[in-house]
Amino acid sequence: MALLAVSVVSVLATAFFRVSMATTRSLVQETENTRAFYLAEAGLSEAFHGLRVGRRGQIGSATAPARHGNGLLWVDATEQVDGRVRLESTGMCGRGRATLALVVEPIELSLGFFSDEDLHVDSVLLVDGYDSTIGPYADQLGGDGYLPEPVPIKIADYLENSCDSGEHTTGHHLGIHNWCVAEYTHQEVYTKEDNSDIALFEEKLQEAYDAYVEEAISNGETERYDFPTGAASHTDGGGQLASNNDINLDAPSGEPIEVYGDVVPGEAGSLSGTALITGETSSRGEPVELPAVEVPSVATLPALLHDSPIPLVISSSSIGYASIMVVADAELIVRGPCTLVVGTLELEPGADIFLDTTDGDVQLYVAAGMNLAPGSRLTTSGEQPDEISIQVAEIAAPIGDAPVKLESTAQFHGTIYAPNTDVRVGSAFEIFGGMVAKSLDLAPAVKLHFDNAGYEGSPLPKLISWKIVKVPSVARRGGDPFQALNVTADELEVLHNAHDLTSVYLAISYVDHGGVVRTFDGLEEDFDWMDVASVLDSERALDEPVDTEEPDPGPLEPPRAAIEDALATLSGGALMSELLSMSPLSDSEMLAVVDAERMGTAFTKKVLQENPLSDQVLDRLVSGEQGLSKGDLKQVMIENSPLSPGTLALVDSADSGQLSIGDKNVIHDAQ
């Protein structure tokens, strides 16, 4: 009996051990698969950013992957025939494997801070630009500030207007003006910490004002006082303020509007008002079509109310909430890589939200509204605008009430894309990156810093699709990923350095650390960014730049006398036969034939087909209304393809009235 009992226990113990081991292996495998999934998402995020700054999107390869954390990854970028780009990212961690695919459509526009509707600014505003790929914004400051005339303020006006109201309040709250109050400066009465408690700041400022007035009155100065004003520090240029319609910059005297860069009204819009603008002010050539935001489909949890003093961390790669509200003295942390979809997001005064991109990007999608109240705080872990994006779906709201209110205290490094939604930006919400909205309501003293680091989007490429795909065969080998791919960790590039730059051409003008202006034109992989102190101008391309400047053909020889006689005395088929007998014809002779209009379209086409046609002749055919029918002109253009850039531009221009849109598309296909 004892032996039987021992045998039964042994069998049960063995069975339990096997079940336990299988469960453990399953849990470990699930954990490693999750980590591999996160690695693949990190690869997609990095490749997505690469496309935005003019790179290929390719990161490493199966034979030379990028290392990230304890795993490996690579991203294959494939340009499709319709211009879209497919990114396929494979992550490997332990025995975990995951491959994700993303299809994006590049939008070749640089919009800066853009309003689809009319843009009206009626108070202090600062707009400038910088390039995040060469360093933080603070390292690129170089402006002296615009100093308007002092603002006269009477004692009576001052005593009637406390910090709770009055036209002079907003400048004080932000410190944009650096207004002085006797020996009490903003630096003494206002700190970043004070801004979290508006009442405390108002009390300090009121005390300083009272002391100033008391001293002024004791000195017999009872009529007026000049408070010198000056704009905040800024960069030398690169900013962009734009609209699809009119732009009106009309602030009261003494409240400067400064744009260190371009102001671009819409195609039929105009620019009015008074402002300091250092760049171009010409209208855009055509309206900008803004693609709608497509909110990802994720599992949605019920409404979240965070009212605990203990910080709440959201770190899931993809998660949704019906709504999120954070109350005073509570903090919400969103840790990347994370795609967070919310119906509404609301921060009460005193609430905090921290966007942590240390380990990956944060993408926030808003479906129903966003209200970051004054007195709340938004902070980010880094200063790279490409790491954080806020995309807002179309939201209807009563007239005058913006569905998106960004009024918290923040130095927001990221991009905001709300093409069909009104957005209000508060005075304390400073943006480093870019923003697109249906309409922009800018509070007094807003600072907008455009990151022009190769942006060719709105400012984001349009995401077409995302899905999990089959892991490639090379990654299916089990065990340690480094051994499976036969690579050594020390020999691999980290993720952000693993972009394939072998076909990315860089043209850059920069200042080196010795203060010397230098230029570089070639493959980006051959350029050493460590030599750059500041960038003056830069441009990337995926194809080797070609010299589009067409050579001067010089003066043309006059047509032969026999050609002139034939054009003067013959027509129709007889003229065609004579011209063909004297072919090949020179450029001047072909131009004379085209201008003479002495033959029908079929005869003219026959002469054109039997002679070499220069750009001058082709340009004359495209821009004129003589000689050929639409179909014949299209055929001649195709037969002489590829066309020069100048001729192709003429085909696309409004001057080519003989060609329909369909004809132009066919000609483009032949290039």
Q: Which is nearest to 114 in space by CA: 245, 270, 283, 255? A: 245
Can you give the residue ranges of every domain in the chain?
28-104+464-497, 113-141+233-460, 151-227, 505-541, 561-669
Average pLDDT over residues 585-592: 85
Q: How many helices (H) and strands (E) does the chain have?
A: 14, 33
Most confident region among 65-79, 158-172, 199-213, 654-668 by mean pLDDT: 65-79
Cα–Cα dist 378/349, whole Å: 11
CA–CA gap between residue 232 and residue 141 (Å, rounded): 10
- Residue 346's pLDDT is what? 96
Alpha carbon distance 366, 417 (integer Å): 10
Cα(first)–Cα(last) distance of the chain, in Å?
Answer: 92
Average pLDDT over residues 620-631: 70
> pLDDT tens across 514-560, in order?
777 788 888 888 888 778 777 666 777 776 665 545 555 556 678 88
Burial code of 579-614, b = ≥16 C-beta within 10 A, e = fewer?
A: beeeeebbbbbbbbbbebebbeeebbbbbbeebebb
The token pair at 265 is 């009204």
The pLDDT tens digits for 468-496 are 888 888 888 878 888 888 888 888 988 87
For 216-230, write each residue's pLDDT tens digit.
555 544 333 333 333
Most confident stretch, 153-162, 203-212, 314-323 = 314-323
The pLDDT confidence band at residue 576, using thresholds 50, 70 and 90, is confident
Q: Tokens representing 269?
A: 């819009």
Confidence at residue 151, expressed as pLDDT on a 0 to 100 scale: 32
Pick the range with the lowest mean pLDDT from 195-199, 319-323, 334-338: 195-199
Q: What is the pLDDT of residue 148?
A: 32
Please name the residues in contact with 253: beta carbons below 8 A apart, sequence gap of 6 or more.
Answer: 148, 149, 151
Cβ 267 vs Cβ 286: under 8 Å: yes
The predicted pLDDT at position 223 comes to 36
Most confident of 4-8, 115-119, 209-213, 567-571: 115-119
**Collapsed DSSP state (helix, strand, coil) of residue 236:** coil
Res 390: pLDDT: 94
pLDDT at 327: 96
pLDDT of residue 349: 94
pLDDT single digits (tens) 418-439: 999 999 999 999 999 999 999 9
Query: Which range, 214-218, 589-593, 621-625, has the best average confidence (pLDDT)?
Result: 589-593
Determine which of 99-113, 159-173, 574-588, 597-611 has the lowest per-residue pLDDT on average. Answer: 159-173
- Stronger pLDDT, 545 or 609, i.e. the higher one: 609
Percentage of residues in the chain having pLDDT higher than 70: 78
pLDDT-derived band at 303, boundaries 50, 70, 90: very high
Mean pLDDT score of the chain: 78
Choice among 142-151, 274-283, 381-390, 478-487 with the minimum mean pLDDT: 142-151
Looking at the predicted structure, is the pLDDT value of residue 163 above 80?
A: no
Q: What's phi and psi for 34, nearest 5 deg?
A: -65, -45
The string of pLDDT tens digits covering residues 46-94 is 888 777 666 788 999 998 999 988 899 999 998 877 778 899 999 999 8
Predicted confidence at residue 531, as pLDDT, reads 82
For 369-411, how does the pLDDT look when each residue is reduced to its tens digit (9 = 90+)?
999 999 999 999 988 888 899 999 988 776 557 899 999 999 9
Residue type for 647, please? T
Closest CA to 232 of 135, 138, 112, 115: 138
Strands 505-512 and 532-541: what pairing?
Answer: antiparallel
Q: pLDDT class for 593, splitting at 50, 70, 90?
A: confident
0.85 exceeded by pTM: no
**pLDDT score recorded for residue 218:** 56
- Predicted confidence at residue 107, as pLDDT, reads 60
Name the H helices within 423-570: 481-484, 561-569
Q: What does 64-95 look like in DSSP terms, one character per residue?
A: SPEEETTEEEEEEEEE-TTS-EEEEEEEEETT
Q: What is the pLDDT of residue 210?
A: 56
**CA 240: distance to chain centroid?**
12
Question: Counting every residue, how long is the chain?
Answer: 671
456 has a pLDDT exceeding 60: no
pLDDT value, residue 226: 34
Q: Is 196 exposed, middle or buried (0-12, 13-18, 19+ CB in 10 A)?
A: middle
**DSSP string covering 342-389, please?**
EEEEEE-TT-EEEEE-SSS-EEEEEEEEEEE-TT-EEEES---GGGEE
Q: What was the pLDDT predicted at 473?
A: 87
Q: How far apart are CA 195 and CA 203, in angstroms?
A: 12
- pLDDT value at 324 more than 50: yes
In the β-sheet with 247-250, what is the strand arrangement from edge to edge?
Answer: 119-121, 247-250, 271-274
Give the pLDDT band (50/70/90) at residue 166. Answer: very low
Q: Quick: pLDDT tens for 457-469.
A: 444 566 667 788 8
CA distance 659 to 661: 7
* Per-residue model confidence (pLDDT) at position 181: 32
